[in-house]
Amino acid sequence: MTDARRLAYLEALGVDVYVRRSLPQAPAATVSVPAIERPVATPTPIPTPMPPRPLAPEAALDWEALRAAVSVCTRCALSETRTQTVFGVGSPGARWMFIGEAPGAEEDKRGEPFVGRAGQLLTAMLKAVGLRREDVYIANVLKCRPPGNRDPRAEEAAHCRGYLERQIELVAPALVIAVGRIAAQNLLATDAPLARLRGRVHALGPRAWPLVVTYHPAYLLRSPGEKRKAWQDLLFARQVSGRIERGEPVLP
Ligand code: URA
């Protein structure tokens, strides 16, 4: 994508002014982004240490069987209020996997993640870094909508975790992007604020999938002034992804 096109997309996101001021003429590869800190250098408090879990029954399922299992799931009470489950969408072999919190009203109606107003902004954010929805994989911590869009409960996330873990295994992404505080805290089992989780590479799960964190587009719709930070996060993700592609270490 040309710089002019990218700037046009950024204008649509409302972050063009920042880009022009802070990235004068510099090619994207030389953009200064926050340095990666070693996760061990900044320990994050773990509220409830999880004991080792037995392998979830879905751990060996293929895509079709996993989708079928999710579609009839009744592990928690959200199955009683959902219209349908919201599995995930995108390329099953994507390099980037975005993980949000839970379906909202529009997603519950259409059965696809991130298709409401926040989803449209996420799609625009992807475009800003030259990606289409079908180039990445998009899923949520929860596969069912919590009534009234309340935050996911710990037990709901725990019931859904095996499904998400299997999705990650099947996609085998180079990079996971946690979309928003709730997703990041759930995935990393931390209550650290988003500001402390951004700008560094975390190791997700026993397989240590590289994970970076960014703002939730719903938050960006409420606080458009923060879009410039989300743009920084995407540049950081791109830089980390480039390092991974070149076989350079991104984790300690
Ligand atoms: N918010 C999310 O976290 N996920 C969706 O799919 C939609 C809104």
> What kind and span of H or E run contains 160?
helix 154-171
* Beta carbons of 166 and 103 less than 8 angstroms apart: no
Which residue from 86, 106, 107, 141 has its CB within 8 A of the most atoms of ligand 1, so it is best to mutate? 107
Q: pLDDT 10s per residue in the chain (252 long)?
A: 566 656 655 565 666 443 443 333 333 333 333 444 444 555 555 556 556 667 789 999 999 999 999 999 999 999 999 999 999 999 999 999 999 999 999 999 999 999 999 999 999 999 999 999 999 999 999 999 999 999 999 999 999 999 999 999 999 999 999 999 999 999 999 999 999 999 999 999 999 999 999 999 999 999 999 999 999 999 999 999 999 999 999 997
Cα of 119 from ligand 1 centre, angstroms: 7
Which residues 6+ apart lie within 8 Å of 50 measured at CB? 189
Q: Any idea which fold 63-244 has?
A: Uracil-DNA Glycosylase, subunit E (3.40.470)
Element (H, E) at 179: strand 175-179
Hey, what amino acid is at 237?
A
CB distance 152 to ligand 1 below 6 Å: no
